[in-house]
Structure 1
């Protein structure tokens, strides 16, 4: 699971960012100033930082410079200012991208995913949960040294749930992630694939299980 740090003195913006990105399967840690951000960067690994420019104690420009000196992670500067001079100063500080408030929720998600891809911080090729091992590049699932070759959509569904284990996803979210926005079927497709995965693994694997969260969706619990 990718971990994102969000630093902003506006608690409403922090709640918005955390809500949006948590739904996308990210872990989000929020802080209200640059000094807190640097402190937590020393104790936890992050894959990306979203930094507001106007913060008390340490502003976003200075925080970005410090991140650039010490950590190899992408930075998105978040600000209410849109003047070219502010953007220039932000890029000189070392930011990778710039987003002006108010922003469209989907734009933030697109920019986060684009930067993670650019930095090579997209989903890992291998996933391990107990005796479950998933090789995403080789499309192989191994459990207790036995290899299973699954149909593509079953493999993609299992991989996604395993990579974001213990998070709950609705059927519509899984359709979007696995089948795409232009999928013309209905959400029962998810139920069918979940049933097939359970039939394959429930009797042989105890390290994980795919749970139905009534009224919400599904979660792979480890």
Structure 2
């Protein structure tokens, strides 16, 4: 194939799709985005991800890859240029740990605090508070989790940098404030205002409306 074919099957409002597209932009890779309707998944999505049937899917020269953190590492290893993961083996392993921490711990707690059963929300909000404090401490005095430039942890943390604020506003809860977590709030300001990241983010109003309609009153068990 004379020219590489790179396709992302995703959803504009999904932080998991967003992190993949940001990584491709960091590498300067031209790609095609195919928007999926998760209520009516395309035959292509089901073909390329028959096991989990989820987005995102990266299709590179006809070969599919799934799971966003796996895709990020593939992007870093496949295309030269901007380094997403550190070169040092220990630092690479540490970055992987924090990316998994965000996916396995932070996102489920945020979702439950905003959209879980009423009796579960307070406990989940307390858990989110503790998890965000851990990230605040990990950030230390660095501008980004990756140091002076964004890296794997920052890409994974789009869940905190963008999605957290959207879920908060849609659900009418407060899980993050500047007084308690100043470094994390400064990181968010610096992160989402990077031009190509800002351009990659979906419409805040549309996502809030979607969440309220999909997960708000009457759609989530109280």
TM-score by length of 1: 0.32
In terms of fraction of residues, the more strand-rich structure is: 1
Larger Rg: 1
* Greater relative CO (CA pairs within 8 A, separation 6+): 2
TM-score by length of 2: 0.32
In terms of fraction of residues, the more helix-rich structure is: 2
